[in-house]
Structure 1
């Protein structure tokens, strides 16, 4: 790989750091459903680009190892500047890939353990709704087959009958939309690149907003929905969520005042996105295009370098 190709791979590694600030603009301007699709797709694309860039950076230095050169039928290592620098870059890139994979496995094990514990608490119920006899107010969507809505007796007592309907509709939206899968995609992206960790909170906000809008449509009253979300959040603050898994989506989490204000305002889908929102969306799409283009170009340069080294082998 040429030195230019190596420099091009810096773009997929740097661009994800722009995703967080841009996504925070988008989630407050776009309709929740559109924001969710754009955030998840962008995070996945940028993560793929950064992972591909690290993998491509591993190859030139690795060809200095005789087993790797023999495996690729290479007479000489790929040309990539100083051999020492190439090996150092390979070690750093491989270490970053290994660290990301180890953290992902650790967190995935933790999520699986939390899911098993939560589903064990809900195992006694055969219906969609699981009521836990616990004083602290809490409610959340528990993914699985089937998905469950878990609510404590403390939360039921904190809300009126109409507000309970709002809360159940909200959590039902998380289950029907399979929002836990979207959270998992962005969590995976965040393990691929640290810059994408800043997308986690905007995505959760957008998912809660999408569930808020679903609940408001289901009950036909935006003010009632806003009041129910606000009261549930205030009640849940009185004590910690002892059994809720960390990945579970819940109506009483996130920036509740912003969500309440959005419910009381004009629905986002009826508003025309402003210039700031359009600029943010274009910036995010441009980051995706540049990241993908740089990765493909670097891969093409690497392939050409390998063919050249293999041609030298044939001449020998």
Structure 2
């Protein structure tokens, strides 16, 4: 007489018991519980203000009165047809040029200090330290540094250049000086990003290249540069967006005077000094769209997946 076959046994091995519904719900809900607070903060402090800003950009709201009138695209027409509103973007050209210098210097120092160099930990701290300083403090320090007869003139006098130049007195010299301050301050961030990316490259690649007789330049060209392309792409995006949205240093050092007014400084003045919140919101939307467009173009030209060690 044969034995009764257990329906839960298939092929001689018991089939796994179905997972209880409570466990499946718990596994599905738990990740969202952890994300609930960050998502709520993101919506409240990022997406909701952006939506309100876009809505205000189509009105003539002054930022104080509860009454506002819808003006359509009138604010956007003003931005693109009034030269005094849009020409401040040309000031960003100084900071774009400074960002190129900044990236090149950060990449150079990161490459040099990624190899065995004497006192390299000391130099790493020196390069990264300016990024840790508060921007307001940096603005006041360099305000005295560039003033007539200030620290810079005293240093030049030590080398025989006895002159007192108004470094912040003309648009060209003032913007160059302010852009130079931004290079000094933000180079440490790009330096750390590049250094981390370079040090993550396997040492076997360097050893194999040395066996093939490659020098430092060839190692940089064929190993380092392709390997850090995603980080370099990120740094370029951050530098371009930062150049277009400069605010802190020029606002503290010059207040936007002497031809140093940036687009963000102008937007703040429109909102809080001239009570044109609707126009200021439109300007902020324009800046946001320009940054998104630049980022999209850059990502299309240099996609992250094209990393080839050749």
So what's the TM-score if we normalise by structure 1?
A: 0.25
Kindly name which structure, 1 or 2, has the bigger radius of gyration based on alpha carbons. Answer: 2
So what's the TM-score if we normalise by structure 2?
A: 0.25
